[in-house]
């Protein structure tokens, strides 16, 4: 947050632009983390040299180089398919494995059909993009990352409550056993005490 030092004054255009740029950068980072961004970027980069070199005539110090061959249409088809696969990796990431395998196959096919895969630039970029697409996995949701500590806390509380309950039951059982033992000892002592003899009456005197 960029706050203006003077209260009551509207923020300047520069502060507003910086705040908007920071928000856009954070939004882009969140968008990039939800999809195989680098795999799609390498796939799109592989399509450019494959489509470019068959239809251009570079000049090397006055020497015209003609890279156009009879497979120019094949290079165009491969490049267009790579563009479609790169965009699908960005916007249809659930098909990333299929797109990655297709990118690898098209990159290998471009080696004999499209001027050595766009002078090896498109070939290498396509192989890297296909490997990244096949290896990418979506990040776990935030709930899954915060749930285990909460579950562990609940388990700890349950364990503590269970221990306290067991200790309380053991204490009550001990007190009951002590009371029963005291009653039993008192009963035994009462049984051991002999009964008192009745009072002896002497001989009656002469009436």
pLDDT in tens, 119-147: 888 899 999 999 999 998 887 776 544 45
Q: Which pLDDT belongs to residue 207?
A: 44
Over the chain, what is the mean pLDDT? 75
* Domain limits, the chain: 1-33, 36-135
Instruction: Name the least confident of 8-17, 34-43, 190-199.
Output: 190-199
DSSP string, the chain: ----SSTTSPPPHHHHHHHHHHHHHHHHHHHHHTTTHHHHHHHHHHHHHHHHGGG---EETTEE-----TTHHHHHHHHHHHHHHHHHHHH-GGGHHHHHHHHHHHHHHHHHHTHHHHHTHHHHHHHHHHHHHHH--PPPPHHHHHHHHHHHHHHHHHHHHHHHHHHHHHHHHHHHHHHHHHHHHHHHHHHHSPPPPPPPPPPPPP-
User: What's the rounded mean pLDDT across residues 41-46?
Assistant: 92
In this structure, of 108-112, 135-139, 174-178, the range with the lowest mean pLDDT score is 174-178
pLDDT score for 1? 45
Share of the chain above pLDDT 90, in %: 18
pLDDT digits 0-9 by tens, 50-102:
888 777 766 666 666 665 555 567 888 888 999 999 999 999 888 889 999 99
| pLDDT given for residue 111 in this prediction | 85
pTM (predicted TM-score): 0.57
């Amino acid at each position: 947050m960029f706050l203006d030092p003077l209260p009551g004054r509207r923020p300047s255009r520069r502060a507003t632009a910086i705040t908007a740029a920071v928000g856009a950068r954070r939004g882009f980072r969140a968008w990039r983390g939800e999809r195989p961004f680098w795999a799609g970027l390498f796939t799109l980069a592989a399509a450019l040299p494959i489509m470019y070199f068959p239809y251009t005539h570079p000049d090397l110090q006055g020497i015209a180089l003609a890279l156009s061959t009879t497979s120019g249409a094949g290079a165009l088809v491969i490049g267009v398919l790579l563009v479609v696969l790169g965009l699908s990796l960005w916007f249809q990431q659930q098909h990333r494995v299929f797109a990655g395998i297709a990118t690898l196959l098209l990159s290998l096919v471009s080696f004999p059909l499209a001027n050595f895969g766009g002078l090896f630039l498109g070939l290498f970029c396509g192989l890297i993009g296909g490997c990244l697409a096949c290896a990418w996995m979506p990040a776990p949701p935030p709930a899954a990352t915060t749930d285990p500590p909460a579950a562990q806390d609940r388990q700890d509380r349950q364990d503590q409550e269970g221990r306290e309950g067991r200790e309380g039951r053991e204490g009550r059982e001990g007190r009951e056993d002590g009371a029963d033992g005291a009653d039993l000892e008192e009963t035994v002592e009462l049984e051991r005490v002999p009964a008192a003899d009745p009072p002896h009456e002497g001989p009656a005197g002469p009436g």
